[in-house]
Amino acid sequence: MATVKVVLRKKQNKDGTYPLAIRITKDRRTSFIHLGQHIKETEWDEEHQRVRKSHANSGRLNNFLLTKLAEANNKALEMETNTSAVSSRAVKQKVKQATGARFAAQAELYLSNLQKTGKYNRYSADKPRVKHFKEFLKGEDISLADITESLLNRFKVYLKSTQKVGERTIVNHLVVIRSIFSQAIKESVIERKYYPFGAGKIRIKFPDTLKIGLSPEEVKQLEDVALPHPAQNHARNLWLFSFYFAGMRVSDVLRIKWSDIQNDRLYYSMGKNAKGGSLKMPEKALKIIVQYADQKLKEDDFIFPDLKSLEDLSDKFEMQKRIANTVSRIDRLLRLDIAPLAKIEKKLTMHIARHTFGNISGERIPLQMLQKLYRHTSITTTIGYQSNFIHKDTDSALDAVLTY
C-alpha cells in the first residue's frame, strides 16, 4: 500500500525558504512531487503536516495542502484497487497527474529548473512573464487543461491593452507557457491532447526585427574619439574587441582568458552552442589587451576584469547574472556617454557590434566563411542573418524602375 504525505523538503532556496511537496512511499521507495509553494522552516508543523499560524496566509495554504493530499490519496487508492501489482513509479505518475497539472506548480518547477541549470538570462526574463500570466488569471491557480486557445487569445489582448507591449514581447510570453506545457507533457503530468499550441491552434511566430549596424565611418569615429573616463574606455574596448572578432558575443568576450591566446591566435568555444575554433589576433585587438596586461595575475586569468571577483566560477547562474549586470552597465555607458562623444546617432549597444560586422561584411565574404566566423551551426542561420545587411540586388532593382 502506498503512503502519501505532505512534507517540507530540506533543500533550502536562496531566499531561505523550503519547498512543500507530496511524498509518496511504495515498497520502501520514495519520490516527491513539488507543489510550487515555499515557506520558512519555522512556519511548518511537521507533526500535523500543516502550516503554522505564524505564516501570513496559513489558512488558504492549509486548505490547498489538504485538497492536494486528498487528490493524491484518492488517485493512489484508485490505482491500487484496480491493479493488483503496481509499481511506485506508476503510483507517482498517476498522483502527479492529479496534483501536478496545475499552472502554479509547473511554472514554479520550470523556473526552478532554469535556476538549477544556471540559465540566469532566461530565468530573469521568464519570471516576470509567469507573473503577468498569474496577474491575468487574477491570482487563480488553474489546471493546465484549462489553458485553452481561447484563454491564450484573451491573454494576448490583456498584454497589449494592460501591459502596453508589442508583438515580440507577447510572443515571448507565449513561449514561456509553451515551455511549461512541454515540461509537463515530458513528465507525464498532462496528456498531449491538451497542448494548445501547433497546427490549427495557437501558432508562435516571431516578428521580423530590424538589425542595423554602424558604418565603417562610425566605427572609425568610435576608435578615434577621446574618452575622459577609464570606465568609458573599458566599455569601448569591449565593443571593439567583439567587433574585431566578427561580432563575438559579449558573454564570450568577458570569459576570454590569457591562456586562450596561443601563437597570436585566439582559441575559444562559443558559450551559446559550444562550437570551438580559433581566429588570428588582429593588430587592433592586440593593442586592446595590452592595456590589461598589468592586471594579469596568472596564465588562466580573465583578460577583462569584470568576472575576476566571482568566487565560484562553476556557478553558472551567478556567472550569467554577473555577465548580465556587466552588459547592462556597459550598454548604458555606450548609449549615454560614448555615442554622443563619438557623434554616433544610432543606438550603440554591445549587441550592435555583431550587427556592425554583418553590415560591413555585406557581400564581401562568402556565406560559408561567415558561417565559420559567426560560429553558426547551420548555414541557413547565416543566410537568414546576413540577409538583413545585403541590399545590393534590391537597391539595383529599385533604381532600374525609378531611372527614367
Domain of 262, CATH number, reads 1.10.443.10
What pLDDT shows up at residue 211?
A: 74
Alpha carbons 163 and 82: distance in angstroms, whole number: 49
Alpha carbons 57 and 141: distance in angstroms, whole number: 15
Tell me what the mean pLDDT of segment 5-26 comes to: 86
Strand partners, 370: none
Look at residue 206 and tell me if it is in a domain. Answer: no
Strand partners, 30: 25
pLDDT tens digits, residue range 315-334?
999 999 999 999 999 999 99
Look at residue 401 and tell me if it is in a domain. Answer: no
Q: Are 375 and 273 in contact (CB under 8 A)?
A: yes
Alpha carbons 297 and 364: distance in angstroms, whole number: 41
> Is residue 151 domain-shared with residue 56, that is, in the same domain?
no
Look at residue 208 and tell me if it is in a domain. Answer: no
pLDDT tens digits, residue range 347-357?
999 989 988 88
**pLDDT range class, residue 225, cuts 50, 70, 90:** very high
> Is residue 190 domain-shared with residue 256, that is, in the same domain?
no
> Is residue 93 domain-shared with residue 108, that is, in the same domain?
no
**pLDDT range class, residue 44, cuts 50, 70, 90:** very high
pLDDT tens digits, residue range 131-164?
999 999 998 888 888 899 999 999 999 999 999 9
> Is residue 30 domain-shared with residue 112, that is, in the same domain?
no
> Is residue 149 domain-shared with residue 20, that is, in the same domain?
no
Tell me what the mean pLDDT of segment 185-204 comes to: 87
Look at residue 377 and tell me if it is in a domain. Answer: yes
Question: Is residue 394 over pLDDT 60?
Answer: no
> Is residue 147 domain-shared with residue 239, that is, in the same domain?
no
pLDDT tens digits, residue range 241-290?
999 988 888 999 999 999 999 888 888 776 655 666 778 899 999 999 99
Tell me what the mean pLDDT of segment 38-60 comes to: 91
CA-closest candidate to residue 84, choices 1, 24, 188 = 1
Question: Is residue 23 over pLDDT 90?
Answer: no
> Is residue 153 domain-shared with residue 7, that is, in the same domain?
no
Q: Which three cell numbers stand for residue 136?
A: 491575468
Q: Which pTM was predicted?
A: 0.67
> Is residue 126 domain-shared with residue 253, that is, in the same domain?
no
CA angle 105, 111, 114 (to 5 degrees): 140
What pLDDT shows up at residue 7?
A: 92
Question: Is residue 176 over pLDDT 80?
Answer: yes
**pLDDT range class, residue 369, cuts 50, 70, 90:** low
Q: Which of 145, 161, 194 is the last residue of a domain?
A: 194
Look at residue 289 and tell me if it is in a domain. Answer: yes
Q: What number of CA atoms fall less than 13 Å from residue 64's CA on the CB side?
A: 20
Look at residue 356 and tell me if it is in a domain. Answer: yes
Look at residue 400 and tell me if it is in a domain. Answer: no
Domain coverage including residue 46? 3-98
What pLDDT shows up at residue 357?
A: 82
> Is residue 360 domain-shared with residue 245, that is, in the same domain?
yes
> Is residue 283 domain-shared with residue 170, that is, in the same domain?
no
3-state helix, strand, coil in the chain (%, to 5): 55, 10, 35
Q: Which three cell numbers stand for residue 399?
A: 533604381
Q: What is the mean pLDDT of the chain?
A: 85
Look at residue 205 and tell me if it is in a domain. Answer: no
What pLDDT shows up at residue 264?
A: 86
> Is residue 12 domain-shared with residue 88, that is, in the same domain?
yes
Question: Is residue 88 over pLDDT 60?
Answer: no
Backbone angles phi, psi at 200, to 5 degrees: 80, 0
What pLDDT shows up at residue 102?
A: 82
Tell me what the mean pLDDT of segment 17-34 comes to: 83
State the chain's maximal CA–CA distance in angstroms: 90
> Is residue 80 domain-shared with residue 224, that is, in the same domain?
no
Q: Which of 82, 98, 114 is the last residue of a domain?
A: 98
- Total domains in the chain come to 3
**pLDDT range class, residue 86, cuts 50, 70, 90:** low
Q: Are 66 and 48 in contact (CB under 8 A)?
A: no
Q: Which three cell numbers stand for residue 242?
A: 567583439
**pLDDT range class, residue 179, cuts 50, 70, 90:** very high
Q: Are 334 and 229 in contact (CB under 8 A)?
A: no
Identify the helix (H) or strand (E) that includes residue 399.
helix 392-402
DSSP assignment of 99-152: HT-BHHHHHHHHHHHHHHTT-HHHHHHHHHHHHHHHHHTTT---BGGG--HHHH
Tell me what the mean pLDDT of segment 379-404 comes to: 60
Indicate which CATH number applies to the domain containing 148: 1.10.150
Q: Which of 98, 117, 149 is the last residue of a domain?
A: 98
